[in-house]
């Protein structure tokens, strides 16, 4: 909200772009709405759709770029500006800032599909500010593959190497997350989808915190992985397919789960009685039978760092 004094014979037009000089900054902006004009004799407020010479009015101004401003009462120097006609280069008005919009409304209405009534609370500390403290960007390294393919141990080895190099990391492991955040979910298709949905959201929060978050979940369904990917900016979601044939995972069977599934003790076991959809465009495909762990880590480093 600003008070504008109009100083030119050509009337102020809402919606028209003017140049603004605000302290040392040159900007462009427009009056988006005239709240009311003030009668300088009676101090009455009245409706106006343009401002003639010497008119004073309370208006909303929108700038083409964000700029730090102050309230005029706090700091007149950085709380006032002049308006310049872009064609004639003449000073046509002067303004005093009352309250910058952001402090007026600390939230905004965003489109959402939440079951609750919610606004979006504006927060001041950004991902970029957190990344600056960290010294590196936040992103997500998403491992996918059969049970027993080696996701957890590769994810762990990757985290060890990143930590050793001073990167700030977090590991979200499928089994471990099911002890806490997702302990209410079983292995049905719907529960698996919800499991991956939550992990995607949490991973995004970690990336927002400027952390390299590593996830190790079977995540068998392509659409679930793609929905996780959609939460990230381009390049911040790195899908790693731990590509090892099912029969080798079954031979290894480190936790004895394949045997139980074959014996009919486990429903919905990926590869046996629940599908695994191979990634079509993973950023990395690790052929774990052909390379040793050090070679696999080198392949990962090429895309992570």
Q: Is 166 in the site for its own copies (CB under 8 A)?
A: yes
Stretch that binds its own copies, among 46-54, 89-97, 109-117, 277-285 (CB under 8 A): 109-117
- 3-state helix vs strand vs coil in the chain, percent to 5: 30, 25, 45
Q: Is 288 in the site for its own copies (CB under 8 A)?
A: no
In degrees and rounded to multiples of 5, residue 58 shows phi and psi of -90, 125
Helices 222-230 and 189-208 cross at an angle (nearest 10°) of 20
Bridge partners of 80, per DSSP, are 96
- Residue 137 beta carbon to its own copies: minimum distance, rounded to whole angstroms: 14
CA 127 – CA 121 distance, rounded (Å): 15
Bridge partners of 4, per DSSP, are 57, 95
Q: Is 230 in the site for its own copies (CB under 8 A)?
A: no
Instruction: Yes or no: say if 30 and 16 are a contact pair by the CB < 8 Å rule.
Output: yes
CA 195 – CA 265 distance, rounded (Å): 22
Query: 56-63 and 2-6 as β-strands: parallel, antiparallel, unpaired?
Result: antiparallel
Stretch that binds its own copies, among 90-98, 125-133, 218-226, 283-291 (CB under 8 A): 125-133
Q: Is 250 in the site for its own copies (CB under 8 A)?
A: no
Q: Quick one: which of 63, 96, 137, 231 contacts its own copies (CB under 8 A)?
A: 231
Q: Is 229 in the site for its own copies (CB under 8 A)?
A: no
Q: Cβ closer to its own copies: 56 or 135? A: 135
Q: Which residues of 121-142 are buried (b: 16+ CB within 10 A; e: fewer)?
A: eeeeeeeeebbeebebbbbbbb
Q: Quick one: which of 168, 196, 240, 279 contacts its own copies (CB under 8 A)?
A: 168
Instruction: Yes or no: say if 139 and 204 are a contact pair by the CB < 8 Å rule.
Output: no
Q: Is 248 in the site for its own copies (CB under 8 A)?
A: no
How many binding residues for its own copies (CB under 8 A)? 65
Q: Is 153 in the site for its own copies (CB under 8 A)?
A: yes
The alpha-carbon radius of gyration of the chain (Å, integer) is: 29
- Residue 208 beta carbon to its own copies: minimum distance, rounded to whole angstroms: 7
Residue 250 CA, distance from chain mean position: 39
What residues contact 89, with CB distance under 8 A and at least 6 apart?
Answer: none
Stretch that binds its own copies, among 22-30, 59-67, 203-211, 232-240 (CB under 8 A): 203-211
Q: Is 257 in the site for its own copies (CB under 8 A)?
A: yes
Q: Is 284 in the site for its own copies (CB under 8 A)?
A: no
Q: CB neighbours (10 Å) of residue 260?
A: 14
Q: Cβ closer to its own copies: 141 or 172? A: 172
Residue 16 CA, distance from chain mean position: 33
Q: Quick one: which of 9, 26, 184, 263 contacts its own copies (CB under 8 A)?
A: 184
Stretch that binds its own copies, among 64-72, 87-95, 200-208, 234-242 (CB under 8 A): 200-208
Residue 114 is among the residues annotated as catalytic for this protein: no
Q: Is 101 in the site for its own copies (CB under 8 A)?
A: no
- Residues making up the annotated binding site for ATP are 145-152
CA 81 – CA 86 distance, rounded (Å): 15
- Residue 170 beta carbon to its own copies: minimum distance, rounded to whole angstroms: 4
Give residues in contact with its own copies (CB under 8 A). 106-107, 110, 112-125, 129-130, 133-134, 152-153, 156, 159-160, 163, 166-176, 178-187, 191, 194, 198, 201-202, 204-206, 208-211, 216, 231, 255, 257, 266
User: Which residues form the catalytic set?
Assistant: 219
């Amino acid at each position: 909200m600003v008070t504008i004094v109009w100083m030119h014979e050509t009337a102020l037009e809402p919606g028209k772009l003017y140049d603004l000089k605000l302290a040392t900054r040159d900007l462009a902006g427009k009056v988006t709405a005239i709240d009311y004009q003030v009668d300088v004799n009676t101090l009455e407020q009245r409706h106006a759709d343009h401002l003639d010479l010497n008119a004073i009015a309370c208006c909303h101004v929108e700038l083409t770029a964000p700029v730090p401003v102050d309230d005029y009462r706090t700091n007149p120097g950085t709380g006032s500006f002049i308006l310049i006609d872009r064609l004639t280069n003449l000073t046509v008005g002067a303004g005093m800032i009352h309250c910058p919009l952001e402090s007026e409304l600390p939230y905004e209405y965003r489109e959402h599909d939440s079951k609750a009534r919610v606004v979006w609370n504006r927060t001041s500390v950004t991902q970029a500010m957190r990344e600056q403290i960290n010294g590196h960007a936040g992103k997500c390294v998403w491992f996918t593959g059969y049970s027993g393919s080696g996701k957890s141990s590769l994810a762990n080895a990757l985290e060890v190497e990143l930590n050793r190099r001073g990167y700030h990391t977090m590991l979200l492991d499928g089994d471990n997350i099911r002890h806490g955040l997702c302990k209410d979910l079983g292995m049905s298709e719907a529960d698996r989808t919800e499991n991956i949905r939550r992990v995607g959201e949490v991973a995004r929060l970690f990336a927002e915190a400027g952390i390299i978050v590593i996830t190790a979940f079977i995540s068998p369904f392509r659409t679930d992985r793609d929905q996780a990917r959609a939460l990230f900016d381009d390049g911040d979601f790195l899908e790693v397919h731990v590509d090892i044939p099912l029969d080798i995972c079954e031979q290894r069977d480190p936790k004895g789960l394949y045997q139980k599934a074959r014996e009919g003790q486990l429903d919905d076991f990926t590869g046996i009685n629940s599908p695994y959809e191979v990634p079509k465009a993973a950023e990395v495909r690790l052929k774990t039978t052909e390379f040793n762990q050090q070679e696999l880590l080198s392949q990962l480093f090429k895309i992570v760092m």
